Structure 1
Amino acid sequence: MKKRKFKISDIIFVAFILLLLIPQTRTPIQVAVNKLKVVVWSPSVEDEKNQDQIVPFQYAVTNLQGDTKSISVGKGKVTFISYWATWCPPCIAELPGIQELFKDYGDKVNFILLTQEEPERVQRFITKKDYELPIYFPQMQAPEILQENSIPTNYVIDATGKIIIKETGAADWNSKKIRVLLDDLTSK
């Protein structure tokens, strides 16, 4: 029986697996892999016949400062809802794109980024990453149509309550396709 020689690719593969086992290196590697997906994956608009309709509602939330707010969803303004967490590599990978989108559309679109984490942890994360995003903590259960067990899950809901996009997993929210869609939705 012939003895197999180790190749450089074998060593790299073993090193990669070992790095994934170490908690300090696992998350950065997972974020990097998800960023590769974000580069090529733009969210898809639902076919018109598959677009669900929500009943307009007021989303009761608390912001990072502890102030309670009620944000209208599906009534008169386009809404971007994101369910995310600071420990979630796909969430971390797509947040820079959401930040860019918020910078340009924050006055035209309701951005609601929801997390269930401790406010102090979220504040540390946001400060470290230098994000200026509207982060909220839900104070009510979302309508059934917006309940999803996977994060990140993001929705683009038009001013009449139609779910135009529902995307689970990391995606490029700062793509030209999304910007054209938001331009169209906010001009109506």
Structure 2
Amino acid sequence: MKLPKVNLKNSLFALIILLLIIPTTRQFIQIQLHKGLALFSPSIESHSGRDVITNYNWQLTDLNNSSYNFRQAENKVVLVSFWATWCPPCIAELPSLQKLYNDYKDSIEFVFISNVDKSVVSAFLKKNNYTFNVYQPSEAPPNTLFDVKSIPRNFLIDKKGNVVIDKSGAANWNSETVRKAIDGLLNN
């Protein structure tokens, strides 16, 4: 039996496999790959295919155990983001969401939702200098659209409850496309 030839291509392949097996380097590599994918902005839903939020009565709790009813977002432009601290695509897109939050926090409602332990989320926010509020559901969502099975999953919703963007996976939320969509929704 002949052994495989040792060359640069085979050595690099073996190194990549080895790095993906080691948990600490695996997460870093996954985050970097998703950052590359997150260069693209999410797509705007066609007018005819948009889901509509009709029931906003959903109780959430922030990291300080203060109640927040999603009803406060009714008749506003709102961005809802489902994410977790351990999720590489979530980690990859959060910097763009923070930049968007910095510029639009006084104009639209941001609702970041995570089921991760509150102390873990708090430490993660502090470590990364994220300033947005994070909520945890106190009850099941009132509509199936927010019964999210994979993360990250983000929604941009207009004042009438129409879902303008429904994006699963990492994306660039600080893109010109998203900013134009938000500006248009704020002017309607």
TM-score category (smaller protein): over 0.9
Deviation at 1:163, TM superposition (A): 0.6
More strand by share: 1
Q: How far 1:71 sits from its partner (Å)?
A: 2.9
User: Structure 1: any 5+ residue segments left out of the alignment?
Assistant: none
Q: Distance in 1 between matches of 2:110 and 2:137?
A: 14
CA shift for structure 1 position 68:
1.2
Residue 157 of structure 2 is matched in structure 1 by: 157
Q: Which runs of 4+ in 1 moved over 4 A?
A: 1-4
SS in 1 for 2:140: coil
**Aligned 8 A contact 1:74 1:162 in 2:** no
The answer for the alignment partner of 1:95 in structure 2 is 94
C-alpha distance after superposition, 1:153-178 (max 9, x if no partner) = 00001000001110000000000100
Residue 4 of structure 1 deviates from its aligned partner by 4.7
| Counterpart-to-counterpart distance in 2, 1:57 and 1:4 | 61
Deviation at 1:2, TM superposition (A): 7.7
1:27 equivalenced with 2:61 (yes/no): no
CA distance in 1, matches of 2:27, 2:3: 36
Indicate the percent of aligned positions where both proteins have the same amino acid.
Answer: 36
SS at match of 2:38: helix
Distance 1:97 1:148 in 2: 21
The answer for the alignment partner of 2:36 in structure 1 is: 36
Deviation at 1:86, TM superposition (A): 0.3
For the residue of structure 1 that corresponds to 2:154, the secondary structure is strand
Structure 2 contact 60–135 (Cα < 8 Å) conserved: yes
Asked if the contact 2:73–2:109 (Cα under 8 Å) also holds between the matched residues in 1, the reply is: no
Residue identity matched to 2:51: D
Deviation at 1:152, TM superposition (A): 0.4
The number of residue pairs the alignment matches comes to 187
1:139 counterpart residue number = 138
Per-residue deviation at 1:69? 1.6
Task: Please report how far the alpha carbon of residue 145 of structure 1 lies from its aligned counterpart in structure 2 after TM superposition.
Answer: 2.3
**TM-score if structure 1 supplies the norm length?**
0.94
Q: Which segment drifts farther, 52-61 or 117-126?
A: 52-61
Aligned AA (2:183): D
1:174 maps to what in 2?
A: 174
RMSD: 1.5
Q: Name the structure 2 match of 1:186.
A: 186
Change (3 A) 1:113 1:48: same
Which stretches in structure 2 are left out of the alignment for 5+ residues? none
Residue 78 of structure 1 and its aligned partner are, at CA, apart by 0.6
The alpha carbon displacement at 1:146 in A equals: 2.2
Report the equivalent of 2:118.
Answer: 119
Distance 1:9 1:133 in 2: 44
Is the Cα contact below 8 Å between 1:54 and 1:74 reproduced in 2? Answer: no
- Work out the CA distance in 2 between the residues paired with 1:99 and 1:90: 15
Question: Matched residue of 1:58: which SS?
Answer: coil
CA offset at residue 75 of structure 1? 2.5
Residues 60-99 of structure 1: matches in 2 within 5 Å? 60-72=59-71, 75-99=74-98
The CA deviation at 1:137 is 0.7
